[in-house]
Homo-oligomer: A and B are copies of this chain.
C-alpha cells in the first residue's frame, strides 16, 4: 500500500481539495485512466470494508479525521439513483439533499452525504462515520467513452463524541477551519453533521486502526517537491 506522511511538511499543511478540484481534477483523471497522476487518493471498493477499516487504507497519513477514496461506480445502478451500500456489519444511508457542485456557474457534479448505520435497516444503529460522495454529472465523465471507467469519490469523516451537548462557537473557532468562513444556510439538512465533525477535528483523535498497515509500497511524487525560487 502507498503511504504519504505529512510530517516533513511545515505544520499546518493539509490535503484540503475543493469540491471543484475533486471533480475536475481527481475524478477526471481517474475516470480517464490516468491512475498514476492521482495516486494520492487510493482506489477501493467502499462496501467491502467497514468504515473503521478505511482510514488505514488512506495514502495520506495525518491526524485529521478525514480521508479520500475512489470507488468504481456501481454498475447495478448506473443512473446513480440507488446504490448497493451495505457492508458486512452495516450500511451507508443517504441523509439530506444532494448538493450541486459548479465550476464557473456550470453544473459539474453532485455531492451526497451518507451516514453509516451498524446492523440492518430499518433497525440500524447510527454511527459517527460520515461520507460525502462526489459524482460527476457531465457527459464526458460518465465513464462510457472508450478508455474510461466510471468512478465516484468518497470523502470520509469520523466524528468524536462530545461530552457537552452544545458545541460552542469558541470551540468551533479553535479548529482553525474558521478561515474558510463557511456559514451553513438554513436549508442545510446536514447541519448536525457539521457540528459533530467539527468536534472531531478539535480532538484530532486517531481511529484505532490508523497506520496499522503492514503491506507498504513506495510510490513517487514528481521530482520537484517543494520549489523555492
Contacts and interface: CB of A to CB of B under 8 A. Distances in A.
Interface residues of A, number: 73
Contacts of A15: 10, 12-14
A208 interface: no
A121 interface: no
A115 to B, nearest CB: 13
B16 A177 contact: yes
Interface stretch (A48-56, A74-82, A98-106, A140-148): A98-106
A95 B66 CA distance: 32
A229 B25 contact: no
Given A198-B180, A222-B8, A227-B7, A173 B13 contact: no
A155 interface: yes
A212 interface: no
Contact of A194 (B16, B25, B181, B227): B181
In this complex, which of A100, A183, A222 has the most chain B Cβ atoms within 10 angstroms of its Cβ?
A: A183
Interface in A179-202: 179-185, 187-188, 191, 193-198, 201
B182 A4 contact: no
Given A8-B226, A226-B8, A180 B173 contact: no
Looking at chain A's contact residues, the main secondary structure is mixed
Q: How many monomers of this chain does the complex have?
A: 2
A139 interface: no
A185 B166 CA distance: 11
A228 B218 CA distance: 6
Nearest to A198: B181
Contacts of A5: 226-229
A108 B224 CA distance: 37
A179 B11 contact: no
In this complex, which of A7, A18, A172 has the most chain B Cβ atoms within 10 angstroms of its Cβ?
A: A18
A40 interface: yes
B226 A176 contact: no
A111 interface: yes
A197 B178 CA distance: 11
Interface in A81-116: 99-103, 111
